[in-house]
Amino acid sequence: MATTESLDLRLTTLETQVGELLSKSVLPSEMTQTQRKSVTDALYPEGVALKYDNPDIVVGDLVYGSGVSGINSGGFFFGEVVSLPVSSDADLNMKIQM
């Protein structure tokens, strides 16, 4: 079992490493849309789902939503964008409809 002293040392080391990483970081607001998409794709290779009305979605993104009269009769949906803007069932390859 680790001693309190060794745990304190590990925490201090982690805090230092996090501080160093943050000092070298770039804020999302400083990136272009293409750069943000590249970072997201690298961090989440299986993809992430965005709300259907997110202005940054592109064809191929996974989206979700509910309460949209032209999509899934207003019910919950999850699907892949096949055309923009997302405003009807035809704009999505549905994965889940509830």
Is it the case that residue 6 has pLDDT exceeding 60?
Answer: yes
Which positions ≥6 away from 97 have C-beta within 8 Å? 72, 75, 76, 77, 78
Predicted confidence at residue 2, as pLDDT, reads: 60
Predicted confidence at residue 47, as pLDDT, reads: 73
Give the angle 22-44-70 at the CA atoms, nearest 5°. Answer: 120
Predicted confidence at residue 13, as pLDDT, reads: 86
pLDDT-derived band at 14, boundaries 50, 70, 90: confident
Predicted confidence at residue 70, as pLDDT, reads: 92
**Could you report how far apart the first and last alpha carbons of the chain are, in Å?**
49
Of 25, 26, 29, 28, whose CA–CA distance to 17 is shortest?
Answer: 25
Predicted confidence at residue 19, as pLDDT, reads: 80
Structure tokens at 5: 């002293």
pTM: 0.57
Domain range summary for the chain, segments of one domain joined by + = 30-97
Residue 63 β-bridge partners = 50, 79
pLDDT digits (tens, 9 = 90+) for 24-81: 777 778 888 888 878 777 777 777 788 999 988 999 989 999 999 999 999 999 999 9
Of 59, 63, 38, 35, whose CA–CA distance to 48 is shortest?
Answer: 63
